[in-house]
């Protein structure tokens, strides 16, 4: 067991190559803990919905509470990214100028309008104390209703009814979430909430969990390797090879995507349990010592697994795309490293074991599996809400509910509405709450009536008029943007965001809805890929070994059946389904191995290393990682069952 000197040169060269690649591409800077980054094409739509607001409250209405909220306000405003929540002045002025075009005109006769104008004139002249007329609709000619906020104000300060004083602030874009979070926590308000807190808190929760899982996985793998690979140099080189392939895959994925989900990194770490299989097979078979005549099963196994990931990458979902390409790069590179750089390792003493257990006929299990699959297909539930995979931050949810309920903001949902022209879009906006509802709707008849109304008012003594006499405005995207209103042009259509209680007829706009839409669209793709995968594999099995076709097929169908059983207890999410296909593509490897003269110990060890890699994920408190772990564990148990209890001689 002597390692030739030159065999150190290659790993060294590889290490330098990877270090330069990592420095050049900086893949670690692209790692993101935010779940929303996984939305592929619609995530920019959510940006205006991320309300950069901050709510702080102090309990009680006494002078002490008032002083406290004032002090907190002063401290908060000292932060460069926190400002007072202000109204849209440009839009308010616009409302004043075009009120008669914006709001619906009441059905009043010329005489009635004239009478109202004269009454107002007398009131203005006779009043002992000067009074201000309504700036938007002084004569009440439209359906405009002045909003009454007096319920939310006391002693010149905003209040939360039945609780205490309130402060509402705007947070500027580009704020550092963690620093902002810490800064607000230091202010010692009784309760504080900002949607931006989720970024900071959830990121911490995810990071803690991921650290826990990676540490656990590292220890399990380390113990596992220490026990199995007695050769210290081989152990060292194996660990290096796994680390190299992981970093290489991360670098390559960073070229393909804008930000890498932290889940991809964890998945990649656990995947090293699979990557190391190739080394096991060569090592235990003694092929690390000779390059020629290596068994084709290892290569076939690698190709089918990679093919599985490659096919899945086309499903059209960002996270799956990342996981697949990470896996492809990682597996191929580790296969290449193990089969080219590792040489001159004597195989260990054969410690083959064949458990003597009662065997089940493969055909019998095959029939049972088919029936079970039909039953499961009819009864298993699928959960399309990917947000369920995200962190459950219940403490922050409670705070959010507290503010939103007291400010009566909980009922409305964000929706997307679109039209072929801006005027059509403005007309549509009247059906919901949107900034576009404050824009003028022009038509010739209305312009004529507005002119008449202004003449009547002038004739009643208001020389300078009460309403603006500017003609109805024509809007462009530019003029709307100057009014602080965002309208997007998508193809031929204009799109804007509104809020409504009744979302019927509108496209709902929330992370949940977008994820669901996206998942519904890829669900078909996922099933299609699964079916094509099964057909192609069956064909490969048939061509590879016709005699053991049923046994080989069982290695796909039986683990699938067992993994689907999970769906009887909890609805299967997208990652469960994804992992099912992955385990199936791994299971195929085992179908090749058991049907060849491969050393049994290599097969059991590689199964155990896969178990060690993905199994630890069930200890994660994050549903996303737990789902991957759960499917993996049941899949591996099923494969193990097949290896121990099924007769292979049929």
Contacts of 558 (CB under 8 A, 6+ apart): 365, 369, 638, 641, 642
Give the interface segment with other proteins, choosing from 128-136, 173-181, 421-429, 442-450 (CB under 8 A).
128-136
Give the interface segment with other proteins, choosing from 81-89, 293-301, 537-545, 555-563 (CB under 8 A).
81-89
CB neighbours (10 Å) of residue 546? 9
- Which has the closest alpha carbon to 167: 73, 258, 68? 73
Give the interface segment with other proteins, choosing from 7-15, 50-58, 321-329, 461-469 (CB under 8 A).
461-469
The nearest distance, CB 148 to other proteins, in angstroms, is 10
What is d(CA 259, CA 31) in angstroms, rounded to the nearest whole number? 6
- Which has the closest alpha carbon to 324: 520, 522, 513, 514? 522
Question: Which one of residues 135, 161, 377, 484 is an interface residue with other proteins (CB under 8 A)?
Answer: 135
Q: Which is nearer to other proteins, 111 or 148 (CB)?
A: 148
The nearest distance, CB 403 to other proteins, in angstroms, is 21
Question: Which one of residues 124, 214, 419, 441 is an interface residue with other proteins (CB under 8 A)?
Answer: 124
**Contacts (CB under 8 A) with other proteins, residues 147-166:** 149-150, 153, 155-156
Give the interface segment with other proteins, choosing from 26-34, 145-153, 193-201, 396-404 (CB under 8 A).
145-153
Q: Which is nearer to other proteins, 312 or 466 (CB)?
A: 466
Q: Which is nearer to other proteins, 78 or 125 (CB)?
A: 125
Q: Residue length, the chain?
A: 650
Q: Which is nearer to other proteins, 107 or 150 (CB)?
A: 150
The nearest distance, CB 64 to other proteins, in angstroms, is 17
The nearest distance, CB 53 to other proteins, in angstroms, is 17
The nearest distance, CB 119 to other proteins, in angstroms, is 13
Q: Buried b vs exposed e over 236-256: b needs ≥16 C-beta within 10 Å?
A: ebbbebbebbbbbbbbbbbee
Q: Does 84 bind other proteins (CB under 8 A)?
A: yes
Give the interface segment with other proteins, choosing from 193-201, 327-335, 379-387, 459-467 (CB under 8 A).
459-467
Q: Does 394 bind other proteins (CB under 8 A)?
A: no
What is d(CA 504, CA 510) in angstroms, rounded to the nearest whole number? 15
Give the interface segment with other proteins, choosing from 130-138, 275-283, 287-295, 593-601 (CB under 8 A).
130-138
Q: Which is nearer to other proteins, 131 or 569 (CB)?
A: 131
Q: Does 465 bind other proteins (CB under 8 A)?
A: yes
The nearest distance, CB 120 to other proteins, in angstroms, is 9
Q: Which is nearer to other proteins, 124 or 528 (CB)?
A: 124
Under the phi-then-psi rule, with left for phi > 0, alpha for psi from -120 to 50, and beta for the rest, what region is 505? Answer: left
Contacts of 366 (CB under 8 A, 6+ apart): 550, 553, 554, 557
The nearest distance, CB 437 to other proteins, in angstroms, is 20
Q: CB–CB of 561/638 below 8 Å?
A: yes
Question: Which one of residues 87, 293, 357, 394 is an interface residue with other proteins (CB under 8 A)?
Answer: 87
Give the interface segment with other proteins, choosing from 26-34, 83-91, 178-186, 482-490 (CB under 8 A).
83-91
What is d(CA 119, CA 131) in angstroms, rounded to the nearest whole number? 14
In whole angstroms, how large is the CA radius of gyration of the chain?
34
What is d(CA 587, CA 492) in angstroms, rounded to the nearest whole number? 49
DSSP letter at 377?
A: H
Contacts of 251 (CB under 8 A, 6+ apart): 18, 21, 22, 25, 27
The nearest distance, CB 464 to other proteins, in angstroms, is 5
Q: Does 531 bind other proteins (CB under 8 A)?
A: no
Number of residues in contact with other proteins, rule: CB under 8 A? 28
Token pair for residue 617?
Answer: 């994920």
Under the phi-then-psi rule, with left for phi > 0, alpha for psi from -120 to 50, and beta for the rest, what region is 484? Answer: left
The nearest distance, CB 129 to other proteins, in angstroms, is 4
Can you point out the beta strands (E) in 48-135? 53-59, 82-84
Q: Which is nearer to other proteins, 148 or 492 (CB)?
A: 148
Q: Which is nearer to other proteins, 445 or 464 (CB)?
A: 464
Q: Does 461 bind other proteins (CB under 8 A)?
A: yes
CB neighbours (10 Å) of residue 529? 20
Q: Does 407 bind other proteins (CB under 8 A)?
A: no
What is d(CA 607, CA 142) in angstroms, rounded to the nearest whole number? 75
Q: Which is nearer to other proteins, 68 or 281 (CB)?
A: 68
Give the interface segment with other proteins, choosing from 146-154, 181-189, 616-624, 634-642 (CB under 8 A).
146-154
Residue 499 has phi, psi (to 5 degrees) of: -125, 135
Question: Which one of residues 23, 24, 78, 132 is an interface residue with other proteins (CB under 8 A)?
Answer: 132
The nearest distance, CB 19 to other proteins, in angstroms, is 55
Contacts of 364 (CB under 8 A, 6+ apart): none
Q: At how many degrees (to 10) do helices 296-312 and 511-544 cross?
A: 150
Token pair for residue 342?
Answer: 């590792």
Sign of CA dihedral 589, 592, 598, 604: positive
The nearest distance, CB 100 to other proteins, in angstroms, is 15
Contacts of 381 (CB under 8 A, 6+ apart): 567, 571, 572
Q: Report the interface residues with other proteins, using CB under 8 A.
A: 84, 86-87, 89, 92, 121, 124-125, 127-133, 135, 138, 149-150, 153, 155-156, 461-466
């Amino acid at each position: 067991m002597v390692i030739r000197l030159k065999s150190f040169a290659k790993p060294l060269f590889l290490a330098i190559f990877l270090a330069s690649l990592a420095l050049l591409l900086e893949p670690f800077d692209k790692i993101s803990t935010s779940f929303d980054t996984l939305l592929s094409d619609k995530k920019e739509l959510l940006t205006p919905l991320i309300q950069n607001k901050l709510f702080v409250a102090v309990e009680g209405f006494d002078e002490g509470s008032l002083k406290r909220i004032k002090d907190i306000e002063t401290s908060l405003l000292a932060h460069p990214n926190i400002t007072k929540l202000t109204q849209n002045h440009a839009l308010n002025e616009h409302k004043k100028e075009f009120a008669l075009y914006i709001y619906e005109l009441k059905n009043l006769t010329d005489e009635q309008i004239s009478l109202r104008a004269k009454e107002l004139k007398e009131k203005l002249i006779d009043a002992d104390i000067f009074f201000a007329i309504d700036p938007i609709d002084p004569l009440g000619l439209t359906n405009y209703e002045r909003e009454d906020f007096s319920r939310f104000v006391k002693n010149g300060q905003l209040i939360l009814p039945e609780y205490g004083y309130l402060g509402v602030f705007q947070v500027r874009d580009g704020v550092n979430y963690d620093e902002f979070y810490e800064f607000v926590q230091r202010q010692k308000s009784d309760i504080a909430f900002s949607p931006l807190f989720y970024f900071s808190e959830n990121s911490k929760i995810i990071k803690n969990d991921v650290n826990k899982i990676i540490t656990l996985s590292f220890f399990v793998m380390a113990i596992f390797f220490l026990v199995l690979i007695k050769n210290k140099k081989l152990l060292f080189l194996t660990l290096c090879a796994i680390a190299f392939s992981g970093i290489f895959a991360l670098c390559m994925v960073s070229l393909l995507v804008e930000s890498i989900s932290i889940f991809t990194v964890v998945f990649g770490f656990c995947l090293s349990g699979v990557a190391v299989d190739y080394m096991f097979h060569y090592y235990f078979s003694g092929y690390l010592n000779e390059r020629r005549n290596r068994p084709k099963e290892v290569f076939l196994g690698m190709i089918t697994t990679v093919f599985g990931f490659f096919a899945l990458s086309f499903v059209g979902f960002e996270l799956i795309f990342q996981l697949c390409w990470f896996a492809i790069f990682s597996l191929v590179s580790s296969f290449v490293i193990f089969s080219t750089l590792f040489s001159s390792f004597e195989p260990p003493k054969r410690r083959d074991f064949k458990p003597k257990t009662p065997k089940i006929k493969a055909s019998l299990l095959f029939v049972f599996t088919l029936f079970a699959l039909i039953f499961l297909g009819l009864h298993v539930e699928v959960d399309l809400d990917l947000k369920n995979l995200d962190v459950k931050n219940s403490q922050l949810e409670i705070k959010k509910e507290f503010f939103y309920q007291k400010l009566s903001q909980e009922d409305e949902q964000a929706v997307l509405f679109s039209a072929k022209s801006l005027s059509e879009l403005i007309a549509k906006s009247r059906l919901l709450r949107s900034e576009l509802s404050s824009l003028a709707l022009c038509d010739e008849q209305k312009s004529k009536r507005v002119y008449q109304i202004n003449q009547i008012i002038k004739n009643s003594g208001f020389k300078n008029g009460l309403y603006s006499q500017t003609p109805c405005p024509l809007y462009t995207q530019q003029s709307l943007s100057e009014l602080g209103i965002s309208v997007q042009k998508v193809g031929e259509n204009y799109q804007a965001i509104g809020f409504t209680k009744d979302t019927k007829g509108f496209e709902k706009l929330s992370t949940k809805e977008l994820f669901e839409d996206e998942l519904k669209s890829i669900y078909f793709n996922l099933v299609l890929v699964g079916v094509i995968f099964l057909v192609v594999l069956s064909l490969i099995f048939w061509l590879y070994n016709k005699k053991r076709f049923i046994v080989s097929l069982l290695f796909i169908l039986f683990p699938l059946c067992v993994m689907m059983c999970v769906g009887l207890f909890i609805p299967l999410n997208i990652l469960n389904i994804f992992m099912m296909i992955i385990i199936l593509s791994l299971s195929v490897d085992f179908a090749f191995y058991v049907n060849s003269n491969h050393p049994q110990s290599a097969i059991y060890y590689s199964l155990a290393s896969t178990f060690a890699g993905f199994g630890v994920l069930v200890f994660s408190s994050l549903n996303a990682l737990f789902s991957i772990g759960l499917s993996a564990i049941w899949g591996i148990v099923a494969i193990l069952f097949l290896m121990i209890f099924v007769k292979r001689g049929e």
